[in-house]
Chains A and B, each alone.
Chain A
Amino acid sequence: MTLRERIGFTTLAAATGALVLLVFALLTYIVSGGASVLSWEFLSQSPRAGMTEGGIFPALLGTFLLTILTAVSSVPVGIAAAIYLVEYAREGTFIRLVRLSIRNLSGVPSVVYGLFGVGLFVHALDLGISILASGLTLGLLTLPTTITASEEALKAVPRSYRDGALALGATRWEAIQTNVLPAAAPGILTGVILGLSRAAGETAPILFTGVAFSLPKLPTGLGDQFMALPYHLYILSTQHHDIVRVRPIAFATATVLIGLVAVLNLTATYLRARARSRMHA
């Protein structure tokens, strides 16, 4: 190894090490800050005494339900759009424009989605400030990710799987259904989960469309408002009247939110790794 190479590698290793250390320090800071209140009760109880006691169950449940609504509203449409773009659409100016728009949509700040959601779902479609409006807004937010990830997964399926099926007398749709989608499924699922995990941590899109500061009851229908982890965290850490006292609760909430996102991302990584090893088996 030349001296220059050695300097280069050392710099890169140091930068990586510093980053890992930073993340680790951050995690330790957050988890240790919340350790005193983290418990099963913290997950299963409602906040009490003006959020200074009790747990985060309504927010946890809200985020869970919201994520399901997000998935239901974006995954089928997203996959269908990707199938159309990859398998059926003929390359042309129009399709290129569509694709370009989708790429650009994934770069739009989430607060813009929030405002759009207010205009479209809350007012124009008259869904009111509700978990449904929030779920649809987050669905829109994840749609570009879902489409792009599904497109990549479909494109990665070897042409020979399609041709092989067609040559046996499969229709185009049969080839997609029985041969292409199964091979693309892990990749699609990975993209979907990553998109959902991003959506689960969003605050701005739900802020104007459905999330509530605090609710006496759990949501029972699509028209109800809800509590959610990211917004709850925001309240606890910046809007509460006794911020110092609720700080451990805020840290514990952050820990749960990070844990949730981490579990989703690890699942996605696992699926991807498994799919890769199966492809090469």
Chain B
Amino acid sequence: MKIESRGLDFFYGTAQALHGVTLGVKTREIFALIGPSGCGKSTFLRCINRMNDTLDGTSVRGMLTLDDADIYAPNVDVVKLRRRVGMVFQKPNPFPKSIFDNVAYGLRLGMKLPRTELEGRVERALRGAALWDEAKDRLSASAMMLSGGQQQRLCIARAIAVEPEVLLMDEPTSALDPIATARLEELMQSLRAAYTIVIVTHNLQQAARVSDTTAFFLHGRVVEVAPTDTLFTRPRVKETEEYITGRFG
């Protein structure tokens, strides 16, 4: 297992948001987290790269591992962890810098690459995020000028530029129109060759289309984890069936 969660509890102050989450993500699969709003999908995702650490008063209990190493062990360097586990946010969040500087952002942290190598890696990342053709003639233009879909692909380029092993995506298409969404889903298919992807989605069709395994969350608990086609065609648990057939949520 690339990522394994066993009995993971999470607290915002005293409010418990995750209750004994247990699931495993295999290397180079696309793993979807579905469930109604507020059920803890984002919270779980943000445990994997320890983004929850940035919030005061949060605490974790239980086991969460990346390549069998405890993510929350005291000797873990969070900066290194986040270089291995990239994240794409719900709302595209380009920095107010040029397209080039956005993609190069992570590459410039803590190291000084020669200009040609930097350029090569920026190009590779933009190609990987299917943005190169649209961006190559205006690398020095502000990233704010891009459309929403392009901005989200830029954020993916920025994340893959540092060559992580895992990509976390929190409802990456919820702010995009259907065409941009389709392009992004296509892109995810090409990314699965190189990355393990964990995606939160509100859109059940999307989970069914893109993912290999799906976990259904409800009230901070994992109700059911199964290969995606099994979960959507033959759910074992009544709540899962009710959710995927639209009877609640």
A183 contacts chain B at the CB level, 8 A cutoff: yes
CB atoms of B95 and A166 under 8 A apart: no
Q: Give the contacts of A260-281 with B (CB-CB under 8 A).
A: 278-279, 281
CB atoms of B83 and A169 under 8 A apart: yes
Q: Considering the chains assembled together, what is the distance between the CA atoms of A170 and B159 in angstroms? A: 12
B73 contacts chain A at the CB level, 8 A cutoff: no
How many A residues touch the partner, as a band?
A: 20 to 34
CB atoms of A169 and B96 under 8 A apart: no
**Which listed residue, B51, B97, B108, B110, touches A167 by the CB 8 Å rule?**
B51
Q: Considering the chains assembled together, what is the distance between the CA atoms of A278 and B145 in angstroms? A: 10
Give the Cβ gap from B29 to chain A, nearest Cβ, in Å: 21
CB atoms of A169 and B82 under 8 A apart: yes
B87 contacts chain A at the CB level, 8 A cutoff: yes
CB atoms of B93 and A160 under 8 A apart: yes
A164 contacts chain B at the CB level, 8 A cutoff: yes
CB atoms of B80 and A164 under 8 A apart: no
CB atoms of B93 and A163 under 8 A apart: yes
Interface string of B47-87 (1 = CB under 8 A from A): 00101001010000000000000000000000110110011
Which chain B residues border A278 with CB–CB below 8 Å? 96
Which chain A residues border B96 with CB–CB below 8 Å? 161, 182-183, 278-279
CB atoms of A168 and B82 under 8 A apart: yes
Which chain B residues border A171 with CB–CB below 8 Å? 79
Q: Considering the chains assembled together, what is the distance between the CA atoms of A164 and B83 in angstroms? A: 12
B109 contacts chain A at the CB level, 8 A cutoff: yes
Q: Considering the chains assembled together, what is the distance between the CA atoms of A235 and B54 in angstroms? A: 57
How many B residues touch the partner, as a band?
A: 20 to 34
A90-B56, A178-B105, A281-B145 are known contacts. Are A168 and B91 too (CB-CB below 8 A)?
no
**Which listed residue, A164, A169, A182, touches B162 by the CB 8 Å rule?**
A169
Mostly helix, strand, loop or mixed at chain A's interface? helix
Q: Give the contacts of A115-172 with B (CB-CB under 8 A).
A: 158, 160-171
Which chain B residues border A158 with CB–CB below 8 Å? 93
Which chain B residues border A174 with CB–CB below 8 Å? 109-110
Q: Give the contacts of A184-241 with B (CB-CB under 8 A).
A: none
Q: Which residue of A lies closest to B49 (CB)?
A: A167
User: Which has the most chain B C-beta neighbours within 10 Å: A164, A165, A170, A279?
Assistant: A164
CB atoms of A163 and B89 under 8 A apart: yes
Q: Give the contacts of B100-121 with A (CB-CB under 8 A).
A: 105-106, 108-110
A52 contacts chain B at the CB level, 8 A cutoff: no
CB atoms of A161 and B93 under 8 A apart: yes
Which chain B residues border A279 with CB–CB below 8 Å? 96
Give the Cβ gap from B103 to chain A, nearest Cβ, in Å: 10
Give the Cβ gap from A258 to chain B, nearest Cβ, in Å: 35
Which chain A residues border B49 with CB–CB below 8 Å? 167
User: Which has the most chain A C-beta neighbours within 10 Å: B83, B93, B108, B110?
Assistant: B93
Q: Considering the chains assembled together, what is the distance between the CA atoms of A281 and B142 in angstroms? A: 8
CB atoms of B142 and A168 under 8 A apart: no
Q: Considering the chains assembled together, what is the distance between the CA atoms of A163 and B56 in angstroms? A: 14
Which chain A residues border B110 with CB–CB below 8 Å? 169, 174
Q: Can you name 12 extra interface pairs (CB under 8 A) apart from A167-B89, A174-B110? A: A160-B89, A161-B96, A163-B93, A166-B54, A167-B86, A167-B87, A168-B86, A168-B158, A169-B109, A169-B110, A170-B106, A170-B109
Which of A's residues lie within 8 Å of B, judged by CB?
90-91, 158, 160-171, 174, 178-179, 182-183, 278-279, 281
A-B contact pairs, 22 of them (CB 8 A): A160-B93, A161-B95, A162-B54, A163-B51, A163-B54, A163-B89, A164-B155, A167-B49, A167-B86, A167-B87, A167-B89, A168-B82, A168-B106, A168-B109, A168-B159, A168-B162, A169-B83, A170-B105, A170-B109, A174-B110, A182-B97, A281-B145
